[in-house]
Chains A and B, each alone.
Chain A
Amino acid sequence: MIRLEHVTKVYGETVAVNDLSIEIEKGEVCILIGPSGCGKTTTLRVTNRLLEPTSGHIFIDGRDICQIRPERLRRSIGYAIQSVGLFPHLTVAANIATVPELLHWGKDDIARRVEELLILVGLNPVEYAWKYPSQLSGGEAQRIGVARALAADPPILLMDEPFGAVDPLTRERLQAQFIRIQQELKKTVIMVTHDLDEAIRLADRIAIMELGRLVQYDTPETILSRPANKFVHDFVGTDRALKRLSRIGIGNFIRPCPSVKTSDSIKEVAAAIGSRRSVWVVNDEGRPIGWIDQSRLSESVTARETIFSGDIHEIALTNQATLREALSRMLGQGFKSIPVVDDKARLIGEITLHDVEAATADGEA
């Protein structure tokens, strides 16, 4: 879809991008990452001809972009930047309408599109369309920036640290929203970031750059488990095993597990526990409400008396969680297993520490 061939960009004495070749598949999120000054932003900016490469070629759908007029090219590529760059004299609606207006869309089409996009990024159109950028919070401005980039439904999106200038909590939300939008729209995205966790969370492929050169271009899993050289190894850090866990959903690791109801007798509980150390207790709707330890069994006669009822919402995971979250819960609570619930908070199984360890070991191998 997008192919950079031997792209080099020289500023005076410094070589910002050095013989870079990379290919980004349609519908994939490619994240450029590296220490500052590694040429990642330059790479992004040659892709929509905000900068002209000193040498080399860039192809989009097989077409050399130097044959496309820069303005036309850019109108077909969404562009979102860290400092957002919303136009302060225009309303949110007019900001989002920028590219459709440049493309001479009809008034009604633009209005409809603006509304659609505000809903897509989770802002109420009635409330936000007529606000001015100065009336927005940082997170809201970032979302409008993304909405504006998506306005003319471009197949390609270039994003330069789009979630950089906001607090960590807001960034987390914006990232989750990005994942949701990307699953829906399947854009081809090139994103620049310096936040490795963000890259691992969002990328289909990560391109690690150093001094203008591409060092490794691979899936996050591969980069974490098989760093190409010492630079990448150091860059991803010593906690890369932990980072890798955040790429792995718990879906494949859920084991069926026994459960008991509060009304069950001790005998039934004992049968359910068997050789286990404990068993999850669910209410009549099947939602976990606590657990029973094997050691407590002898002391009581009914299940009700033996239940430990911790804050089960703090403990249970939904089936969309990652192994990293599972591990974090286990360590936090001191458990060797964590219950997993479905959308309606009903118990569907559990994740065990043993499985997490096994997954980590697989990656190392």
Chain B
Amino acid sequence: MEKEPGITKKVDEFLEIFRKGEEFTKEILRENEKLRFRIAQLEGAVQKPAEEESVRMYEDRIRKLEEEINAVMERYHKVEEENKDFASKYVEVEEINNALANLYVASYQLHSTLDFDEVLRIIIEIVINLIGAEVFAILLIDEKTNDIVPVSAEGIPLEMVPKARFGEGIIGSVAKEGESYFAADISSGGDVAKGEPIVCIPLKIKEHVIGAIAIFSLLTQKEGFTNVDYELFNLLAGHAATAIFSARLYTQSERKLTTIQSFLELLKEKPKR
């Protein structure tokens, strides 16, 4: 059976149209695929700057926090230093406080009596307990002979301490000049027999020297002098001298009063006979 040429032509045309439609559809699908890919690309491109922005933001925050930490650490170290400074100042204040307490007790005790022997005993206690001297003597100037005579001693018998001449030797020079003497080496001790102390303090009322304290050796545990020791030496130089002078005057006036009273009693009794 022979096909009609018109139908064949129409079939061919239809097939042609169909193929074209197929190609067109395929083309559309390809385009669609390309567009999807492009959309995905664009979407990615849009997200990336947002992520970078947040990373930058976090980096900024980290940097700021690091700066804050550094500032805090710096402040902490500063406070720590201040704390150390305060601690050392506290220790210093404590030491001053202790020194003042010692000086207060020493001066209080020195002026607590007008008894000459007791004043000497208090000076001895201060020199032993506060300064830490082992062998020492208190010497007073005899204004008649100008000799510097030992009146009390600790660690050695009083008779063993020699008199000193005013202006001669260490003790005599201290009495004359009114300036304290400190040996360069205090560890070896002084020489009692030669009248060579390691420390000699003048006993002064203003500029008038009335005697001296001569230290010949220190207690074994006392290795050297501290600031408070020098303060005590100064205190002793002034206050001990005043205390000795007052006690002497008081004893003399007491003696005179007793003599006068006895004399008056005698005068009262005379008319009765």
A binds B: no
